[in-house]
Amino acid sequence: MTKLSDLFGEQKTLLGSVKSAADYSPIPNGTYVAETHKGELGQHPNTGNPYYKIHWRISEGEYSGRFIFQDLYLTEKALPYTQRDLAKIGITSDEQMEKPIPDMTCKIKVALRQLDNGSEHNEVRGIEVVKENVDTFAPLAPLAHPTPKDDVVQDPAPEDDEIEDKEFLQELLDMGDNNAK
C-alpha cells in the first residue's frame, strides 16, 4: 500500500488542512439580482443543437457569487424565445453573439427543474434589466444636439466681501475661458 510519505517525501497533513469545497446544489426558486459574466456560443454534446450560453453571477443575497447558466437554443423552434431574451441584454444581431457579452445587472427569475432521471438543475425563466453597467473609462459619445452656452444656468456671482482670494477666483475664471475654446 502506498503511503503519503511515498507521495510527498515527508509526513504531510492534507485532510483537515484546507477548507472543504462548497456544495453547489441548485438554488431555490426565486428572483435574484445577477450580473452577466460571460456569453458563449456552443453545441449540445448529445443533440448537436447550437446555443448561446449566458453565465449569470448572482450579486446579492445568500447566494451571492454563485453562477447560474442559461442555454438559449438557436434552433428554428426556440429562436423567438432566444431572440426575446438576448434583446433584453442588448444582443440584437448575430455578430454581437461573437463579441463579449454586454455588462448588465438584471433580476433573473430562477426555477428549479427536475429531470426524468430525478436530478435537479436551475433554469432562468425571466430577465428584467436593472441597469447597464457602463465602463467609467470609456470615452463619452458626443451630444446629438450640443447645448448652446446661453442655455447654461450658472450660480450667481458672490459678493466682493465673500471672496477671500480674488486671484484664485480669477485663475478659475481664466481656466473656464480656456476650456470653452
pLDDT at 1 over 90: no
CA distance 101 to 132: 12
User: What pLDDT was estimated at residue 153?
Assistant: 46
**Three cell numbers written together for 8:** 510527498
Residue in the block written with cell 430525478: 118
Q: Is residue 56 classed exposed, middle or buried when 0-12, 13-18 and 19+ CB atoms within 10 A define those classes?
A: buried
Tens-digit pLDDT profile for residues 59-114: 999 999 999 999 999 999 999 999 999 999 999 999 999 999 999 999 999 999 99
Lowest mean pLDDT among 23-27, 51-55, 102-106: 23-27
Contact yes or no for 4/12 (Cβ under 8 A)? yes
Q: Per the confidence metrics, is the pTM higher than 0.85?
A: no
Q: Is residue 160 classed exposed, middle or buried when 0-12, 13-18 and 19+ CB atoms within 10 A define those classes?
A: exposed
pLDDT at 147 over 50: no
